[in-house]
Structures are given as C-alpha cells and as structure tokens.
Amino acid sequence: MPMQLKEGEILLGKQRESTARMEIRNGEIALFRQLKLKKSVGRCMILAPEDEKNDKKDSTLLKGLVRAYLWQRQIKEGKYATTRELCTEINVRHIQRILRLNYLAPRIKEDILNGTQPKYLKLADLKKIPLLWSEQFEKFYDV
C-alpha cells in the first residue's frame, strides 16, 4: 500500500493497525506512541503497552526516516530549489544517503516506526536500496 498523506500528519501502511503516528506542523516533526502511566512509591513510571515491551526502536533509523521525509517535503514546497541547494547547508553524502529512505516500502517504514524491523537492520545497511519493494524485503528481511 503506498504512503497516504492527510493534512498535518503522515500515515504509513496499515495505519489502523499501527500504534505510532507522526505529525508535521510548522516544520517540526512529532512521533506519538501510546503509553501508560503508573504510580509506584511516589514515582510516576511510563510503561509501553503490553504487546510492545520487547520492541526496540533504532533511534538512528527513526531519525533517518523522519529527516528523509522532511527534506523531501522542503524541496517539494520550494524551501530549497534543488537537492544541491539543501546540500550547501548539510553534508552532501549524508543527504543523498538519507533521501534514499523515501523509497523504502511502506511496510518497512512502518516497522521502523514501530520498532519491529529486524534487529540486524541498521541505517548503514540502507546505503543501496532496491527500487522494487519485493527486492527490498528479500535484501533487508531475508525473505
């Protein structure tokens, strides 16, 4: 399923099943997750939902995914005329590598947001991304 956009937010893949939501307002990106608060011995603890306790989110992958979307959007909206103009402010190689994340299959993006991507998948592994989503799953998920 292709990425679906609504005003003020990004919905990835099977948005009804996802517990993560990203919103973009005024150039700032916020990631929302469902959490529970528990008071214990005068302290307040934040707990993840039961089904997500073992999920480990890779902050580097998350930041990369968010930056890729943000930079692509800034180019489309005209903040930067070209990728080259954006590169004058940030490292060229880094931008090129991160922008490629926009071509990941929606399911892979959703897994990164939810922290359910394969544990061995790192940002460095995403230097060369196949164009076909089926090939991406073969390469990154050992399918």
What is the predicted pLDDT for the residue at 64? 92
pTM of the model: 0.55
- Are 47 and 36 a contacting pair, CB within 8 Å? yes
Amino acid at 66: V
Per-residue pLDDT of the chain (143 residues; tens, 9 = 90+): 444 444 455 544 444 455 667 777 777 777 777 766 665 445 565 665 554 444 578 888 999 999 999 999 988 999 988 888 888 877 888 888 899 999 999 999 999 999 998 888 889 888 889 999 999 998 888 76
* Amino acid in the structure at residue 105: A
Spatial distance between the Cα atoms of 76 and 71, rounded to a whole number of angstroms: 9
Q: What is the pLDDT at residue 30?
A: 76
pLDDT at 105: 95
Q: What are the extents of the domains in the chain? A: 4-38+51-141
**Would you say the C-alpha torsion 19, 77, 61, 3 has a positive or negative sign?**
positive
Hey, which residues does 143 pair with through a beta bridge?
Answer: none
Q: How far apart are CA 115 and CA 54, in angstroms?
A: 9
Whether the CA torsion 100, 23, 140, 94 is positive or negative: it is positive
HSE-CB at 56 with a 13 A cutoff on CA atoms is 7
Structure confidence at residue 42 (pLDDT)? 55
DSSP 90: S
